[in-house]
Amino acid sequence: MQLLVSVADASEAQAAVAGGADIVDAKNPRHGSLGAVPAQVLHAIHARVGSRTRTSAALGDQTDAAGAALAARMAGDAGMDYGKMGFRGASSAAQVRRVAAAAGPAGCGMQLVLVAYADWAHVGAPEPRRVLEAAVAVRAAGVLMDTVIKGPTLLDYLTSAGVAEWISLVHEAGLLAAVAGSLGASDLVTVRDAGADLAGVRGAACDGGRSGRVSRARVEALSAALRGAPV
């Protein structure tokens, strides 16, 4: 399983790469689980990372095609490998598919990852299976299961067996299965053993929690936990 670390700026990106992150993800944590950073910050993060590792960008929760296309184009123009898009506020499965389809061709070669939420019933988001269906329809690279409400972890909403079942559904669809949601080191081992291809972190990689700063030492410890060192 690979480790994605969400960073707010180029300095944090440097720490994430030095600590062994497999993917550096541009995100403004003060604006929620998919808070987007400005275009200039995206370019600065990509320039700092260079070719040392892959990059991704949070594209926000989108409910209209024009907004989705604009967000994807901005991240694609910055050279990001992946764009993560959610759909809080979308009222139907057809709307999710329509918005996701608009983002697909707008990303300049960037691969799209659709985001489902384990706490979907509490936050006005589509049911996860509808997001998976949309991902198949628009030929997205994968689906990320995350949480909007931070504090509870993904595993407070889904049991380890539930996570494994979800990952199997994503894999059966031929897509990459990613997970996130206030995960700590022991949680990373759990989702790794459940079969996840990728796990995303922010708070666990920071000194001072989610709103703190990414620490090289913390990223190193998380990376070591994934590779079998004691948690």
Catalytic center residues: 27, 84
CB 55 within 8 A of CB 79: yes
CA-CA-CA-CA torsion sign (9, 25, 90, 163): negative
Strands 206-207 and 213-214: antiparallel
CB 7 within 8 A of CB 25: yes
CA distance linking residue 120 with residue 92, whole number of Å? 13
CA distance linking residue 72 with residue 82, whole number of Å? 9
Intra-chain end-to-end CA distance of the chain, in Å: 16
CA distance linking residue 79 with residue 20, whole number of Å? 20
CB 44 within 8 A of CB 79: no
